[in-house]
Amino acid sequence: MIKKSEFIILGSTGRNTGKTEFACRLINRFSKTSKVIGIKVTSIDRDEGFCPRGPESCGVCASLKNEYDIIEETENNTGKDTSRMLNAGAHKVYWLKVDKNYIEKGIKALIEQLPMDALIVAESNSLRTVIEPGLFIVIKNKNDQTIKEGCSQVIGFANKIIEFDNMSWDFSPDRILVKNNTWIIKEKATAIILAGGKSSRMGGEDKSLLPVDGKPMILNIINQLEDYFDEIIIGANDNDKYRFLNRIIIPDIEKEKGPLMGILSCVKASSNEINFITACDIPIMNIKLIQNMINLSADVDIVMPIKEQDKHEPLFAIYKKSVIKDTELILQNNGRKIIELLKKVKVRLVEFDAENWYQNLNRKEDYYGFIKKVEYRNCQRNDSPKKP
């Protein structure tokens, strides 16, 4: 798999999804400040012996004589998809016609022609079989539940599935951003960091303020999340302690009732239906897992990771505002355990591999062990030879 974070790939489940218009909106926006290249990929199955578009062939399949053809679009007024991309402001636009068996070879040849500093907006399903992009977006028509074969093979890799109602999308192109030449999504959601614990297992030292990479751990967490969420809330009862963060600070509605009260207080204060809640002692935010959980939250109240034989991670999970009523009832009846809430609402559990990133720094030995790893990693990075 070729990793290309400067690529955003737009796929679709079928026709009439507004895919090219979505691509043009991105091109128009980012071409004002960056060099943007548009790409359309047509994957051809010459073994099938017929046009995948139906009986009215456009002649594209029959015209491919080699393993692939790369055609640069030079006209911006033909009405073709590539012409529309050029008209939207793309620096250059290419059409890759390729035998499905040579997609990797074809895209590698095209990549050699692309500027190193360019952002790439590509229309294709099949391209996702050989490239791991910054983002892979799949757009579907709200009124058509069918999924064409090329999309069904890759839809599981989608960072976001967007619906189109023949007028607009349920997720705006304006929520697609670029950071360090990498495409990212800003979710219409709130990130909540719970920092109301007593840090008793840390010897009373406030774990949220312990330094990680030269910054308080809670600030390090915020820095990882802020580009991906509309809003960040700190759940804490000491407003002065966290004033330096310049974030919304929400105290517990009632004190001394544990993390379930912290969840209720912050979710009620949130501006969004979808809320990602994390503890303040998890120094590494797995953005890919978080966004996957958001994508899986459409028809449930909570999405929660599990690991190591059904071990739940309630403080690294998605909670929707729909949990408020049941949470209030549990607390009114002197309940405190999050597991009680899981029995009352719709929950989707997601298995995840925690070996490479997940650490919960509850104790001093946990913290010191993590810091040694960070220092070693930074040392290795600083000592690595610089490219000429």
| Residue 380: band (very low, low, confident or very high) from pLDDT cuts 50, 70, 90 | very low
The pLDDT assigned to 104 comes to 97
Same domain assignment for residues 218 and 358:
yes
Check whether 51 has a pLDDT greater than 90.
no
The pLDDT assigned to 388 comes to 40
Same domain assignment for residues 201 and 177:
no
Same domain assignment for residues 156 and 304:
no
Q: What is the mean pLDDT of residues 8-19?
A: 96
Which tens digit of pLDDT belongs to each residue from 129-150?
A: 999 999 999 999 999 999 999 9
Contact 100, 61 (CB under 8 A): no
Contact 5, 183 (CB under 8 A): yes
Same domain assignment for residues 303 and 356:
yes
**Domain-terminating residue out of 185, 208, 242:** 185
Residues 6+ away with beta carbon under 8 Å from 68: 96, 97, 98, 99, 102, 105, 106, 109
Same domain assignment for residues 122 and 265:
no
356 against 388, higher pLDDT: 356
Spatial distance between the Cα atoms of 188 and 170, rounded to a whole number of angstroms: 11
The pLDDT assigned to 77 comes to 86
385 in a domain, yes or no?
Answer: no
Which tens digit of pLDDT belongs to each residue from 100-131?
A: 999 999 999 999 999 999 999 999 999 999 99
382 in a domain, yes or no?
Answer: no
CA atoms in the 13 A half-sphere facing the CB of 212: 26
Which tens digit of pLDDT belongs to each residue from 254-280?
A: 998 999 999 999 999 999 999 999 999
Query: What is the span of the domain harbouring residue 52?
Result: 2-185
Same domain assignment for residues 203 and 289:
yes
**Domain-terminating residue out of 159, 185, 211:** 185
85 in a domain, yes or no?
Answer: yes
**DSSP state at residue 257:** S
Cα-based angle 309, 312, 317 (whole degrees, multiple of 5) = 140
Total domains in the fold of the chain: 2
Same domain assignment for residues 174 and 192:
no
Same domain assignment for residues 14 and 103:
yes
Pairing relationship of beta strands 2-12 and 68-73 according to DSSP bridges: unpaired
Spatial distance between the Cα atoms of 57 and 75, rounded to a whole number of angstroms: 23
Pairing relationship of beta strands 92-99 and 182-185 according to DSSP bridges: unpaired
Same domain assignment for residues 124 and 252:
no
Same domain assignment for residues 119 and 266:
no
Lowest mean pLDDT among 46-60, 89-103, 144-158, 296-310: 46-60
Residues 6+ away with beta carbon under 8 Å from 385: none
Same domain assignment for residues 149 and 22:
yes
192 in a domain, yes or no?
Answer: yes
| Residue 381: band (very low, low, confident or very high) from pLDDT cuts 50, 70, 90 | very low
Spatial distance between the Cα atoms of 301 and 314, rounded to a whole number of angstroms: 13
**Domain-terminating residue out of 166, 185, 204:** 185
Check whether 314 has a pLDDT greater than 90.
yes
